[in-house]
Amino acid sequence: MTKSKRTISRKCVVCGKRIKIIVYKDGHYNNGHYFNKLKIPIGKGQNKKVGTTKVLGKTIDVVKWTGKEKEVEYWECNKCYEEAIHENWLEETIEKLYGKKCKDYNKNCACCQAWEIYNTIIEDNRGLL
């Protein structure tokens, strides 16, 4: 017995490629990764300060867009999604083995050298996309 399905077309937010997504009657889907809807500012307007909050010990402004907004769906193609997973794995592994990036680069520091290799891998890999 086959499931009822339909095909929708969306654009990958990362690379701009068109994705043909198969959506089944029960709501699950294949060929793409959905992350929710976002509101993006359009037209004239400005970011108006409405308060402050603390993030990582620093006080930052909280702003609200005063103009119009457009709601868009956030989709990624399989290739961009997989790429992000691999980059995240590599970043977490280097951080586990060598620690977080140093604030100031030192060519004799093992941590800095590891992060420099990470940067080289990411830059070279993105050139292949």
Indicate whether 69 and 89 sit together in one domain: no
| % of residues, the chain, pLDDT over 70 | 95
Tell me if 62 sits within 8 A of 49, measured CB to CB.
yes
Residues 29 and 88 in one domain: no
Residue span of the structural domain in which 121 resides: 77-129
44 and 100, same domain (yes or no) = no
pLDDT of residue 55: 85
pLDDT tens-place string over residues 35-85: 999 998 998 999 999 999 998 888 999 999 999 999 999 999 999 999 999
The widest CA-to-CA distance across the chain, in whole angstroms, is 64
The total of structural domains in the chain comes to 2
Distances (CA, A) of 23 to 6, 48, 73, 117: 5, 39, 15, 40
| 7 plus 70 within the same structural domain | yes
Give the model's pLDDT for residue 66: 92
